[in-house]
Structure 1
Protein backbone atom coordinates (compact mmCIF):
# COMPACT_ATOMS: atom_id res chain seq x y z
CA UNK A 1 0.00 0.00 0.00
CA UNK A 2 1.46 3.34 -1.05
CA UNK A 3 0.82 6.62 0.73
CA UNK A 4 -0.70 9.40 -1.28
CA UNK A 5 2.00 11.59 -2.80
CA UNK A 6 0.00 14.75 -2.13
CA UNK A 7 -0.04 14.26 1.64
CA UNK A 8 3.31 15.00 3.27
CA UNK A 9 4.17 12.98 6.35
CA UNK A 10 5.57 14.42 9.58
CA UNK A 11 8.99 13.04 8.68
CA UNK A 12 9.14 15.69 5.96
CA UNK A 13 10.13 18.19 8.66
CA UNK A 14 13.17 16.04 9.44
CA UNK A 15 13.97 15.74 5.74
CA UNK A 16 14.17 19.52 5.39
CA UNK A 17 16.90 19.81 8.01
CA UNK A 18 20.54 19.97 6.99
CA UNK A 19 22.70 16.93 7.73
CA UNK A 20 23.55 16.66 11.43
CA UNK A 21 20.93 19.16 12.55
CA UNK A 22 19.02 16.67 14.71
CA UNK A 23 22.20 15.93 16.67
CA UNK A 24 22.95 19.64 16.98
CA UNK A 25 19.43 20.35 18.25
CA UNK A 26 19.69 17.46 20.71
CA UNK A 27 23.00 18.77 22.09
CA UNK A 28 21.79 22.36 22.37
CA UNK A 29 18.58 21.36 24.18
CA UNK A 30 20.29 18.61 26.23
CA UNK A 31 17.91 15.98 24.83
CA UNK A 32 18.62 12.60 23.30
CA UNK A 33 18.76 12.24 19.53
CA UNK A 34 15.76 9.89 19.75
CA UNK A 35 13.72 12.42 21.75
CA UNK A 36 14.39 15.17 19.20
CA UNK A 37 13.62 12.87 16.29
CA UNK A 38 10.35 11.80 17.90
CA UNK A 39 9.40 15.42 18.60
CA UNK A 40 10.11 16.35 14.98
CA UNK A 41 8.07 13.38 13.78
CA UNK A 42 5.09 14.55 15.84
CA UNK A 43 5.73 18.12 14.62
CA UNK A 44 4.09 19.89 17.55
CA UNK A 45 5.04 23.58 17.24
CA UNK A 46 5.15 24.13 21.01
CA UNK A 47 8.07 21.71 21.43
CA UNK A 48 11.43 23.53 21.63
CA UNK A 49 13.06 21.02 19.25
CA UNK A 50 10.39 21.70 16.62
CA UNK A 51 10.79 25.45 17.05
CA UNK A 52 14.56 25.13 16.61
CA UNK A 53 14.13 22.87 13.58
CA UNK A 54 11.81 25.39 11.93
CA UNK A 55 14.33 28.15 12.63
CA UNK A 56 17.08 26.07 11.02
CA UNK A 57 14.91 25.22 8.02
CA UNK A 58 14.23 28.90 7.42
CA UNK A 59 17.88 29.78 7.93
CA UNK A 60 19.15 27.17 5.45
CA UNK A 61 16.72 28.13 2.71
CA UNK A 62 14.55 25.04 2.92
CA UNK A 63 11.61 27.31 3.65
CA UNK A 64 10.62 27.34 -0.03
CA UNK A 65 10.43 23.56 0.01
CA UNK A 66 8.37 23.66 3.17
CA UNK A 67 6.00 26.13 1.51
CA UNK A 68 5.61 23.76 -1.44
CA UNK A 69 4.81 20.89 0.92
CA UNK A 70 2.20 23.04 2.67
CA UNK A 71 0.59 23.78 -0.70
CA UNK A 72 0.28 20.04 -1.29
CA UNK A 73 -1.61 19.77 1.98
CA UNK A 74 -4.46 21.97 0.73
Structure 2
Protein backbone atom coordinates (compact mmCIF):
# COMPACT_ATOMS: atom_id res chain seq x y z
CA UNK A 1 0.00 0.00 0.00
CA UNK A 2 1.33 3.45 -0.95
CA UNK A 3 1.48 6.36 1.48
CA UNK A 4 -1.13 9.04 0.90
CA UNK A 5 1.50 11.54 -0.31
CA UNK A 6 2.52 9.33 -3.23
CA UNK A 7 -0.94 8.20 -4.31
CA UNK A 8 -1.81 9.62 -7.71
CA UNK A 9 -4.92 11.77 -7.62
CA UNK A 10 -6.67 13.44 -10.55
CA UNK A 11 -5.66 17.05 -11.02
CA UNK A 12 -8.24 19.55 -9.82
CA UNK A 13 -8.59 22.11 -12.58
CA UNK A 14 -9.87 24.66 -10.09
CA UNK A 15 -6.44 24.88 -8.47
CA UNK A 16 -4.79 25.81 -11.76
CA UNK A 17 -7.20 28.59 -12.69
CA UNK A 18 -6.42 32.25 -12.06
CA UNK A 19 -8.38 33.97 -9.30
CA UNK A 20 -11.96 34.75 -10.34
CA UNK A 21 -11.89 32.51 -13.40
CA UNK A 22 -14.71 30.24 -12.24
CA UNK A 23 -17.03 33.23 -11.91
CA UNK A 24 -15.97 34.47 -15.35
CA UNK A 25 -16.60 31.06 -16.92
CA UNK A 26 -20.00 30.85 -15.23
CA UNK A 27 -20.94 34.31 -16.46
CA UNK A 28 -19.77 33.66 -20.04
CA UNK A 29 -21.54 30.31 -20.29
CA UNK A 30 -24.62 31.52 -18.38
CA UNK A 31 -24.22 28.75 -15.79
CA UNK A 32 -24.22 28.83 -12.03
CA UNK A 33 -20.92 29.05 -10.16
CA UNK A 34 -21.71 25.72 -8.50
CA UNK A 35 -22.35 23.98 -11.83
CA UNK A 36 -19.04 25.19 -13.22
CA UNK A 37 -17.19 24.15 -10.07
CA UNK A 38 -18.69 20.65 -10.16
CA UNK A 39 -17.88 20.31 -13.87
CA UNK A 40 -14.27 21.25 -13.16
CA UNK A 41 -14.11 18.66 -10.37
CA UNK A 42 -15.28 15.93 -12.74
CA UNK A 43 -12.98 17.24 -15.51
CA UNK A 44 -14.89 15.75 -18.42
CA UNK A 45 -13.28 17.19 -21.57
CA UNK A 46 -16.56 17.43 -23.49
CA UNK A 47 -18.05 19.89 -21.00
CA UNK A 48 -17.88 23.52 -22.22
CA UNK A 49 -16.80 24.80 -18.80
CA UNK A 50 -13.89 22.34 -18.74
CA UNK A 51 -12.85 23.33 -22.26
CA UNK A 52 -12.89 27.00 -21.28
CA UNK A 53 -10.96 26.28 -18.08
CA UNK A 54 -8.28 24.41 -20.01
CA UNK A 55 -7.99 27.33 -22.43
CA UNK A 56 -7.56 29.75 -19.51
CA UNK A 57 -5.02 27.49 -17.79
CA UNK A 58 -2.90 27.31 -20.93
CA UNK A 59 -3.23 31.06 -21.44
CA UNK A 60 -2.14 31.80 -17.87
CA UNK A 61 0.76 29.35 -17.97
CA UNK A 62 -0.41 27.58 -14.79
CA UNK A 63 0.10 24.17 -16.35
CA UNK A 64 3.77 24.88 -17.04
CA UNK A 65 4.30 26.11 -13.48
CA UNK A 66 2.65 22.99 -12.04
CA UNK A 67 4.86 20.79 -14.22
CA UNK A 68 7.97 22.65 -13.02
CA UNK A 69 6.90 22.27 -9.37
CA UNK A 70 6.32 18.55 -9.86
CA UNK A 71 9.83 18.19 -11.29
CA UNK A 72 11.25 19.89 -8.20
CA UNK A 73 9.41 17.50 -5.88
CA UNK A 74 10.95 14.41 -7.48
Class of the TM-score when normalised by the shorter of the 2 chains? 0.7 to 0.9
1:51 partnered with 2:45: no
Number of aligned residues? 68
Larger RCO: Structure 1 or Structure 2 (Cα < 8 Å, ≥ 6 residues apart)? 1
The structure whose Rg is larger is 2
**Structure 2-normalised TM-score?**
0.77
Give unpaired runs (5+ residues) of structure 2: none
Q: What is the distance in 2 between the residues matched to 1:13 and 1:4?
A: 20
User: Which ranges of structure 1 fall in alignment gaps of 5 or more residues?
Assistant: none
Coordinate RMSD, CA, aligned: 2.4
